[in-house]
Every structure is written in structure tokens, then in C-alpha cells.
Amino acid sequence: MSMHDNETIQVLKKEEELYEKACKVLPGGISRNVVFRKPHPFYVSEAKGCYVTDINGNKKVDYANNIASLIHGHAHPQIIEAVYKQMQKGTAYTIGTEIEIEHATLLCNRVPGFDKIRFMNSGTEAVMAMIKAARAFTGKPKIAKAEGGYHGSFDTAEVSQSSSPATWGDIDNPRSVAHVVGTPQAVLDNVVVYHYNDIERTINILNRHAGEIACVLIDPVPHRIGMVQATPEFVEALYKWTRENGALLCFDEVICFRADYEGAQSAYSVRPDLTSMGKIIGGGFPIGAFAGRADIMNILDPGGSDFRFPLSGTFSANPISMTAGKVAMEMLDREAMIKLNNFSQIAINQIKEAGKIAGIPLSITGKGSMFKVHFREVAPKNYRESYEDAHTKMIMNMFLEKMYEEGVIMINSCSCVLSTVIGQPEIDLLSDAMLKSFRHIKPHLQA
């Protein structure tokens, strides 16, 4: 046995020992399911820019970026310097900060329709608060959401996010399916499930509950629905229906706010009443927010005449997240956004070429600096078309493992999100790794 083999055994032993320790104190040895894998998770040593180094000393190009939250990659010097200065002044207070006002002003000035904004600590909290605001403002109990749509772990928002052929029901009468065992029936009864990008069916479903719906919730580039963009016609139909039925149109842009300078909503002729955000607006630190029309947002004003929604949070608008987020979003100006999205298109073009060379069925969906690879010639249009069965998931896992072996980290849905520190060398590495990985899975695609 060579010295290299001995080193490999020692490295594997280290990972196994870490996982063994983790399983004693963490369910499944993890705190977030996205890092789970068999026989054990990968473990990081350090990260800088667009590269992550694991505990084995292997450098990987990071196209996951902590599930789309690191728009400028890891440990960006400008963000680190600003946060370090703030940390010396304190990390959280029970009194207000100027930086909260500055970050709020930056975001409200950036996006038309953001009259006012409220910060919290995660995308889940942002969606949860947005839904509660819609209920408080309209006085109605129900929400409508797309089948398969992911909006965090709030029990109302997660209804039907994991529907399957065995549970999702008739296409004209989709079921509200619990994501977690024990979800109260009352929660399911107050969630109306519609079909993404299907105007006729969606309007028919919404009409059955007209007068009861507080808001129609939509992610315009939904990660869990194949990362397919909402068509302008579909968004306009939802907007018109909400106007006619006293409901709010709520966009979840926690992930897809990165799609363009003014968010994914800038692609449409109509604007949502409220928008939830997170991820990139925190500059690598925990954050959530929702923003929108002043008359709706004012129901959160404890000193106002229309106070209906008390909302607080120990770390909401903490100066670390505010500082990092403000610097990150200032750096993500129009020029930086155009450059980032152009690089993303270059990557997509090179990946398509790799697919042709490998001779596999391939389609790519997404918008801006985020895209998803599908091992099929025609891209899906909705959740039922994009549903991934056991065989598809097996192929995806095989592909992702090969990509990691070739030096690339992707999101476990076979998605990539770019950071501003990615350059042409990293895109070339990505497409080369894709070509090798396409060839690796090709026999299984044809099985």
C-alpha cells in the first residue's frame, strides 16, 4: 500500500470521526438538510472568493454560494472590513441604529413599489410576516400558493411544497398537502393550491375561494418548480384577479431578488403589493425582510393610527447584518449586475455545448445569475412536469457527486448561482466538469 493510500485512509477517518461526533449531538449529524449526504457530509476548512477548501485540502469552485446568499462570494474584503469595524462597536443593541435606516433607504430607493420595509432574520420569517401582514390588512384568512412552491418552513407557506403523484390529487382540484406530519387540518384548509403558469386552471381555483383569500403568493423564478420563470401573462392574470377580489399579490424574492438590479419583479408590467427578501441583502449574514406599499406596511407602525400587526425580533436589523448587507448591495450596482448576468449566460451557452458534445438530453432554466440543469430536451413548465422521481434523483445525485469530484460545488437540485468574483477560468472549469459528468451519467439516462 502506498503512502498516498495511507493518507486517504487517514483523511476518510477524519471525516468519519467528525460525523460520528455530530450524530451524537445533532439529529442526522446536521442542522440543515442541504448538507446531508451518505456516508457523511463534506466538511469545510476555509473559503475565499469563489473557492471553498474542504478538510482534505481540496479546493472547489463554489456555484452554490450558501444557497444563493453569497452574491460576492466568500469573505469579500470590503464586507469583512466593514463588519469588523462594526463588531468593535457591538453586535446587537436594544436601541435603534443608523445603519438600519441606511440599508432600508438603499433598498427602497432601488426598487419601485418599495415604499417601506421591515427587517427580520431569515427568508422564512420574511414570508411568514408578509403572509400575516396580508391577513391583517385584508381581514381574510386564506392564502393561495403554487403547488410545489418553496417559501420556507412556516407551516402555512410549506403546504404542498412536497406533493407527489400519490398525494397531489386531480389537476383541476389539487389537494393541500401537509409537508410535516401533524400539521393541523385548519392550516391545510386555509391554503389554496394553484397551478404555476396555468392561467385558466389557476383562476378557476381562485374563484372558488373569492372573498376569502388574503394574498396570492408567488415566486417568479421558483427554485423548486424547475426554476421556470413565471410568464408575464400569468403574473398579469394574478394581479388582475387580486385587484378584482380584494386580495394582495405577494412576491417571494428571497432567492430570485438576485435575478436583476430591481429584482425578478422588474421583468413584469405590474408590481406586487408586498415582496419578501433575504439571502443576498444580508451580505453573507442572516437576514430577511419584506417591503411594499406604504398603506400596507403602516399596519406594523406601533405609533400609527392603523396598528394591526405587532412584530419584533431579538436580532432583527442587527448592525452586523445591516452593515454587511448595505455594503454588498452597494457593490451590486447596475454595472456589476449586468456583468454577473452576462457571465451566467456565457456559462449556460458553454454547458449547452458540453451537453451536445456528450450527446445527452439537456435543457436549462432560470434567470439572471441562477440556472438549473434538466436532463431532458424540453424544459418543464410547472411543478407536475418538473417532479423528480426516484430514478431522476438517483441520476442527479450521481451527477452532483461527479461534479464535486471534478472540483465544482452545485446546489443539490442541479442548480448553479454565480457570484461576482467568478471569472472565465471558473466558467471554463464548470463546463469542463459538466462534460465529464454528463458522460458519467449518460448510460443511466438511457437505461
- Please report whether residue 415 resides in a domain: yes
* 245 and 205 inside one domain: yes
Residue type (1 letter), 197:
N
Is 82 in contact with 327 (CB distance < 8 Å)?
A: yes
* 256 and 316 inside one domain: yes
Helix (H) or strand (E) run with residue 250 in it: strand 248-252
The pTM assigned to this predicted structure is 0.95
Question: Which among 282, 312, 331 is the end of a domain?
Answer: 331
* 109 and 162 inside one domain: yes
Question: Which among 296, 331, 366 is the end of a domain?
Answer: 331
Residues 312-338 pLDDT 10s? 999 999 999 999 999 999 999 999 999
- The residue whose grid cell reads 401573462 is 233
Is 262 in contact with 334 (CB distance < 8 Å)?
A: no
Q: Which domain holds residue 175?
A: 77-331
Residues 358-398 pLDDT 10s? 999 999 999 999 999 999 999 999 999 999 999 999 999 99
- Please report whether residue 22 resides in a domain: no
CA 348 vs CA 36, 59, 362, 367: distances in Å: 27, 23, 11, 11
Spatial distance between the Cα atoms of 175 and 188, rounded to a whole number of angstroms:
9
pLDDT of residue 11: 52
- Please report whether residue 364 resides in a domain: yes
| Distance of alpha carbon 262 from the chain centroid | 17
- Please report whether residue 371 resides in a domain: yes
Residues 77-108 pLDDT 10s? 999 999 999 999 999 999 999 999 999 999 99
227 pLDDT higher than 50? yes
- Please report whether residue 105 resides in a domain: yes
Residues 168-226 pLDDT 10s? 999 999 999 999 999 999 999 999 999 999 999 999 999 999 999 999 999 999 999 99
* 244 and 345 inside one domain: no
- Please report whether residue 149 resides in a domain: yes
* 327 and 373 inside one domain: no
Spatial distance between the Cα atoms of 90 and 84, rounded to a whole number of angstroms:
10
* 129 and 57 inside one domain: no
Query: Can you tell me whether residue 434 is helix, strand or coil?
Result: helix
On average, the pLDDT of the chain sits at 95
* 338 and 245 inside one domain: no
* 345 and 302 inside one domain: no
* 296 and 366 inside one domain: no
pLDDT of residue 1: 38
List, as one string, the DSSP characters of 3-48: HHHHHHHHHHHHHHHHHHHHHHHSGGG-SSGGG--SS----EEEEE
- Please report whether residue 1 resides in a domain: no
Spatial distance between the Cα atoms of 66 and 411, rounded to a whole number of angstroms:
9
Question: Which among 306, 331, 356 is the end of a domain?
Answer: 331
CATH code, 321 = 3.40.640.10
Spatial distance between the Cα atoms of 250 and 156, rounded to a whole number of angstroms:
14
pLDDT of residue 5: 46
What secondary structure letter does DSSP report for 444? H
CATH code, 47 = 3.90.1150.10
Residues 5-50 pLDDT 10s? 444 455 558 889 999 999 999 999 999 999 998 899 999 999 999 9
* 83 and 155 inside one domain: yes
Give the number of domains in the chain.
2
* 242 and 293 inside one domain: yes
- Please report whether residue 14 resides in a domain: no
pLDDT of residue 14: 86
* 186 and 65 inside one domain: no
